[in-house]
Amino acid sequence: MTTLTCFKAYDIRGKLGTELNEEIAYKIGRAYGQIYKPKTVVVGCDIRLSSEALKQATIRGLNDAGVNVLDLGMTGTEEVYFAAFHLDVQGGIEVTASHNPMDYNGMKLVRENARPISADTGLKEIQALAETNNFEEVSQKVQRKAITFCLSSLTIY
């Protein structure tokens, strides 16, 4: 079992290639899906060159866990949180390195109603499952859809 050092108290952050890569991103998506068993999750990423590949790997992990994904494309963290709250989905993941140097990247995870996932609310469990790589077999068919409309066009009541 490999210890994943990219898991921090409130998010996931690590040096690209060694602490965070596509394989680890896949495992994070797969573990998130197995633990929370959401029907649908929104996923977005920031503008960093490594973010799109990490996002795609995360989506593959979610899909393999039986989770439908709404791919928001290039977003800020606040847009993923907004979508997770307003689109009747059960969670969201933003691939972002935030303020870290260019050779880093990371993720911010939320559950339904955009409730943040941190070490004391589930991030440690995601880490443990990703480290053991002990994933359940899933035969459920899932969908992956890209969101192509502007979130600001939504009517909020």
By annotation, the residues acting in catalysis are 98
Alpha helix stretches (DSSP H) within the chain? 22-36, 51-64, 77-86, 123-132
Count CB neighbours of 55 within 10 A: 29
* CA gap 84, 112 in Å, rounded: 7
Contact call for residues 11 and 39 (beta carbons, < 8 A): no
How many alpha carbons fall within 13 Å on the CB side of residue 41? 30
